[in-house]
Amino acid sequence: MKKILISLFTLASILFLACSNNSGAKEESRDSDKASQENKIKRYNVKSGIVKYKINIQGKVMGSEVSGSGKKELYFKDWGAKELKKEDSKQVTKINVFGHKKTEVNEVHSIDKFDNGKSYTVDTKNKIIYLRRDPAMEMVKNFNNGDAEEVGEKMLESIGGKKIGTGKVQSYTCDIWEIPGGKQWIYKGIPLKIDMNVMGIHTVQEATEAKFNTDVPDKYFELPNYPIQKEESYLSDKEYEAENQEMRKNAKQMAKMSYEDYKKMLKQNDPEASQMSEQEIRASYKMMKNMAKMMDR
């Protein structure tokens, strides 16, 4: 049961980040049904793209001043079935406690690649690439012939998200979603701007350049020549299929689970659940019920 719960949350986060668009996408989605079926996973409602972002971080936390900046790049093709993200950023925290001053610097240099259900995470420090796969990603292709647009909107709403209007980023008209802690500007499933305020830290990630339905050469998806290490949870093809079957089987049980039983199970399986508020637990319960019902179709 713990595996199914984890997979449900994984799938919900995938849909939350990648499938939350509605405006102007349905006509293109219908035109691309054939392409959707040919690809194992369709995550966006645009075939390919190159997006470059700037990152800005500012805030104060318990007497400490936080500032930072950076850049991020997104490359994708085949409707998001193949994708690579790169980030280079730096955050500086100036600490002043009872007159004692100290400066901490945290740098991020990350590369993440997604290829039809397989995820590659590059550890640039130790020069290793970690490979993992999750049955929840495979579930995406079963929703609306792989187009999880409708499911994504339901998931956004189930965690308290609300579409509040439209706005332009780099001349593209986006749906603006208000979510806990901030807002996202979404264009056909791709977030072009994210504005978050969490615990006094204001972070803005905004596209400075965006091109869609453009040629994205294979060189943009190349990873460093590091050894690839499968994570302990990596599943073989046989295990992968068995896990998918287990998820569907358990979905029936989860769809009927009461809130009290869910709350009890959550606290037994996840130590961090004890720190969740009642509102957060209820929101996660609603999200779980929606996902379980969809998986049980």
Provide mean pLDDT across the span 97-106. 84
Prediction pTM value: 0.71
Task: Please report which confidence band the pLDDT of residue 64 belongs to, taking 50, 70 and 90 as the band edges.
Answer: confident
DSSP for 58-106, written as a single string: EEEETTEEEEEEEEEEEEEEGGGTEEEEEEEEEEEEEEEETTEEEEEEE
Between CA 247 and CA 241 the distance in angstroms is 10
Helices (H) and strands (E) in the chain, counts: 8, 12
**pLDDT at residue 56 tops 80:** yes
Q: Where are the domains of the chain?
A: 2-295
Q: How confident is the model at residue 154 (pLDDT cuts 50, 70, 90)?
A: low
Q: What is the structure's pLDDT at 55?
A: 96
Architecture of the 2-295 domain: Clam (2.50)
Residues 134-147: pLDDT tens digits? Answer: 555 555 555 555 55
Mean pLDDT of the chain: 77
Model pLDDT, residue 243: 65
* Cα Rg, the chain, nearest whole Å: 20
DSSP state letter for 181: T
| CA–CA gap between residue 194 and residue 232 (Å, rounded) | 33
